[in-house]
Amino acid sequence: MEPIKLNHPLIEHKLSILRDKNTGTKEFRELISEITLFLCYEAMKDAKLTEVEIETPITKTKAKQINENDYVFVPIIRAGTGMIDGIVTMIPNAKIGHIGLYRNEETLKPVRYYYKMPKGIENKTVIIIDPMLATGGSGIDAITLLKEDGVKNIKFLSIIAAPEGLKKMQEVHPDVQIYCAAIDEHLNDVGYIVPGLGDAGDRIFGTV
């Protein structure tokens, strides 16, 4: 599947502030959440609706709702956890799983150290969240773990993606739809996205 890149003036505006090295921790966190709202909105366009009966102050009527329990959002620790606030603002009852991966700075390969999912994960739509899709290693590994658990419907949300990571993920997991707010130029020789925004985890948690 070709990645879906969001195109909207508000996203461009927020990305410009997010990338700025002078943007402080508080504003950076808020912008991550706000852009995640847009990504979640786009990723949920094909959500199934169930008809229910409600009562307005005027009369009873038919309405449509999403079954929020059908969705699990899985942040890749640690930077992905910075996107959770944006997700639960949109889908308050969504289940949250966690995958802990870190990048070996010498090999650039992902190393897993934590994996915890809700029960019945194989029957749900799972949406992985991670602000940066750089080499693609962590995303690929996370998807592989979920598929081993029987998950068939997986999506991936990223704020900024590198062409190299997108290509690699599409080659390994062509069935996973990727959503991103920006596709940047390339990776540098140490695996960081250019122009990017630096280390998303450090900037979210103030450990720069």
Name residue 101's beta-bridge partners: 112
All residues at 6 or more sequence positions from 93 whose CB lies less than 8 Å from its CB, including other chains: 68, 69
Helix (H) or strand (E) holding 14: helix 9-19
What is d(CA 78, CA 85) in angstroms, rounded to the nearest whole number?
Answer: 14
**Which residues participate in catalysis according to the annotation?**
103, 107, 199, 202
All residues at 6 or more sequence positions from 17 whose CB lies less than 8 Å from its CB, including other chains: 23, 27, 31
